[in-house]
């Protein structure tokens, strides 16, 4: 794929600055976040699959969103944790770097496409409830998910290919805990202004392409909710959208700062902090966002815990 253009066969991930004791503290914190992320999202996937009360488009999309969160964090965090245990810099091969960056960007793109679809789903549920089951039928939901996954992976082929066609002759030390595209561009001897501009336009297309239907959907949702006469009815209607809305704010907020900027070669500390938000903090928070604010999920979890207790007692 790269031929003899890259000038590097491996990279060194600089990771986190500080003493080895501080790095061990980071390891404990991020290992805890990663473990909770895996368990929390796996629990959501299981209850969505087995509980009949959660057989609706909203929870079908939620199951796929949880799978994406597991994959996104697994692409980054295990490598980061291993680097925190090493006394020096961490070595990553060129092939592993290409694979990590491609999967990270592809899964992230798929997640934004799915969040946009979930916003439209909430719009239909609140603003057109009588036709909800007709519009959001099984066939439609399956195709929405398939298109989101295929689009996410196809869309990122050229950006990753173009990145690794550059000549990395300045250094092979990446100042981050993963193969960050912005830091990779810093290592290139080529003039990267054009490719950075194209990457900026593509990031704008992905983020705003899914954010615009989200904004439009929530404009209609809020307008419809405000017309409901009773306060309890308004609360009930908004509760069906609150989890998704919170997830949108956190997800889009962090990625807008990370990718939608004309200059991709942002300061390393800035990229490192925002990358932690995207790959560690957001996947960690999502299970809590979608469970603590959703009565059906809480009931399903409660009943599942009771059944597990009965099995162990018997």
Residue 45 has pLDDT above 60, yes or no: yes
Backbone angles phi, psi at 294, to 5 degrees: -130, 115
In a domain, 1, yes or no: no
Position 4 scores a pLDDT of 40
- The pLDDT of residue 9 is 77
Q: What pTM was estimated for this model as a whole? A: 0.86
DSSP structure class, residue 174? E
Q: What is the pLDDT of residue 5?
A: 45
pLDDT value of residue 110: 94
Tell me the C-alpha distance between 68 and 135, whole Å. Answer: 25
pLDDT of residue 308: 72
The 10s digit of each residue's pLDDT in 82-131 is 988 887 788 899 899 999 999 999 999 999 899 899 889 989 988 888 89
Residue whose tokens read 């006469």: 229
Residue whose entry in the numeric block shows the structure tokens 């405000």 = 226
pLDDT in tens, 256-282: 655 555 554 455 666 777 788 888 888
pLDDT tens by residue, 163-206:
888 888 777 888 888 998 888 888 888 888 888 888 888 888 88
The CATH number of whichever domain residue 40 belongs to comes to 1.20.1070.10
Residue 4 lies in a domain: no
pLDDT tens by residue, 62-82: 899 999 999 999 999 999 999
Residue 137 placed within a domain: yes
Contact present, 80 and 30 (Cβ < 8 Å): yes
Mean pLDDT value of segment 131-146: 92
Q: Band the pLDDT of 37: cuts 50, 70, 90.
A: very high
Half-sphere exposure of 7 (CA within 13 A, CB side): 15
Q: What is the end-to-end Cα distance of the chain in Å, rounded?
A: 57
Domain annotation covers residue 150: yes
Q: Which domain holds residue 32?
A: 11-312
- Per-residue confidence (pLDDT) for residue 59, from 0 to 100: 87
What pLDDT, on a 0 to 100 scale, did the predictor assign at position 266?
A: 53
pLDDT at 6 over 60: no
The answer as to whether 103 is a domain residue is: yes
Give the chain's domain count: 1
Quick: pLDDT tens for 277-313: 888 888 888 888 877 667 777 777 777 777 777 766 7
Residue 2 placed within a domain: no
**How far is the C-alpha of 173 from the C-alpha of 45, rounded, in Å?**
38
pLDDT of residue 257: 59
pLDDT in the model for residue 1: 38
Kindly state whether residue 6 falls inside one of the protein's structural domains.
no
- The pLDDT tens digits for 227-253 are 888 877 777 777 777 777 777 777 776
3 part of a folded domain = no
């Amino acid at each position: 794929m790269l031929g003899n253009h890259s000038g590097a066969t491996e990279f060194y991930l600089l990771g986190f600055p500080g003493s080895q004791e501080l790095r061990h503290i980071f390891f404990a914190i991020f290992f805890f976040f990663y473990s909770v992320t895996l368990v929390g999202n796996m629990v959501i996937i299981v209850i969505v699959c087995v509980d009949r009360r959660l057989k609706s488009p909203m929870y079908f999309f939620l199951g796929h969103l949880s799978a994406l969160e597991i994959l996104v964090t697994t692409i980054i965090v295990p490598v980061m944790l291993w680097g925190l245990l090493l006394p020096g810099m961490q070595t990553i091969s060129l092939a592993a770097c290409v694979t990590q960056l491609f999967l990270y960007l592809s899964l992230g793109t798929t997640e934004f496409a799915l969040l946009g679809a979930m916003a439209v789903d909430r719009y239909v549920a609140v603003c057109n409830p009588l036709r909800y089951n007709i519009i959001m039928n099984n066939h439609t939901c399956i195709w929405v998910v398939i298109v989101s996954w295929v689009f996410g992976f196809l869309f990122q082929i050229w950006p990753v290919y173009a990145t690794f066609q550059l000549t990395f002759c300045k250094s092979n030390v990446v100042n981050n805990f993963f193969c960050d595209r912005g830091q990779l561009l810093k290592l290139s001897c080529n003039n990267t202004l054009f490719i950075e501009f194209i990457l900026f336009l593509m990031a704008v297309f992905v983020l705003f392409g899914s954010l615009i239907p989200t904004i439009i959907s929530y404009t209609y949702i809020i307008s419809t909710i405000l017309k409901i006469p009773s306060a309890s009815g308004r609360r009930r209607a908004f509760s069906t959208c609150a989890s998704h809305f919170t997830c949108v704010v956190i997800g889009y907020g962090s990625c807008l700062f990370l990718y939608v900027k004309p200059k991709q070669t942002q300061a390393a500390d800035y990229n490192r902090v925002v990358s932690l938000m995207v790959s560690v903090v957001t996947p960690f928070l999502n299970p809590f966002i979608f469970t603590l604010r959703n009565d059906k999920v809480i009931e399903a979890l409660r009943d599942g815990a009771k059944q597990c207790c009965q099995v162990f007692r018997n």
